[in-house]
Amino acid sequence: MRNKFADAIYEIGKTNPQICALVADISPAGSMVKFREEFPERFINCGVAEQAMIGIAAGMALKGMRPFCYTIATFSLYRPFEMVRDDLAYQNLPVTVIGMGAGVIYSTLGGTHHTMEDIAVASAIPNMTVLAPCDPEEMRLATTWCATESMGPVYMRLGKAGEPDLTSDAVDPFEIGKIRYLVKGDGDLCILTYGITMKMAFDIADRIQQKSGKQPSIVSVHTIKPLDESGILGALSAHKNTVVIEEHVPHGGLASRVKELAWDNGITTGLKSFTLKDEFIHFYGSYEELLARHGLSAEIIAGAL
């Protein structure tokens, strides 16, 4: 996804002089190198100064630019939180903050690099839109929207690299603010998820179908805020059981919002959630091993369902 993000802003930047990229001590790669070389006046490496990066982006937005702030997720949102809140959201400026390598992808680097609460943090900020595309094509479409249509600040969560294409056969088109059925099943089970967890959702659905013969629905909730409440309620009502899976702590993420909607609207169909644990796990293995320690794996979840 990060490669497709770089490709997207480079292509848009060739014809739109308002697009600019700010990074915080991240070495450009791929199309980001081309962006830096061809548009040096619109590329700023702010160094290890994330607060300054957000402030600079705010100033550029006030002058009519459309900045993208790009670095590792913990440092793009947590470290400059006050500036994201006051410089961007308070003034409702069209700046996109990219959180790269979100969740616990940086497994071996420890809790300082594990972005476990970003959806809750970003969603709590007034005026903030929160996006989490699930594959390179959703990333391209989301980046294009941020560059051309967004009217305010956006936090966009993405993985690192190597995510597979999961949406080429999607049932629904991509639309900001709307859930998107990637697979429509037989009404027995619906899997709601977003972002980097989508590959796991497909693996879980395959396991369930092989065992039971029933095809689960798979839904991309790529827009966490504003949440498509009517779409979520429709999915809950159309299926006997729904499961929310997310690489995020239990509080303040998609699972919390779906449970709140279900309760407020008297939905009584089955509803379960699988999230990261509400703790820092001091384990330094692979990404998959750390997810399993949190109870997130296709085998664990399919078995529980």
Residues 8 and 136 in one domain: yes
Residues 149 and 19 in one domain: yes
Q: Which of 158, 191, 215 is the last residue of a domain?
A: 158
Any domain includes 185:
yes
The tokens describing 300, both together, are: 């664990």
Secondary structure (DSSP) of 246-297: -SS-SSSSHHHHHHHHHHHTT--SEEEEE---SS-----S-HHHHHHHTT--
How many structural domains are present in the chain? 2
Q: Which of 177, 181, 139, 182 is nearest to 158 (CA)?
A: 139
Q: What integer pLDDT is reported at residue 37 of this predicted model? A: 93
- Residue 83 structural domain: 2-158
Any domain includes 264:
yes
280 pLDDT band (50/70/90 cuts)? Answer: very high
Residues 206 and 289 in one domain: yes
Residues 47 and 146 in one domain: yes
- pLDDT per residue as tens digits for the range 61-73: 999 999 999 999 9
- pLDDT per residue as tens digits for the range 99-123: 999 999 999 998 999 999 999 999 9
| 228 touches 179 (CB < 8 A) | yes
- What single letter denotes the amino acid at residue 265? N
132 pLDDT band (50/70/90 cuts)? Answer: very high
What gap in Å lies between CA 127 and CA 142, rounded to an integer?
17
Residues 153 and 209 in one domain: no
* Cα torsion 250, 254, 258, 260: sign: positive
Q: What are phi and psi of 246, to 5 degrees?
A: -155, 145
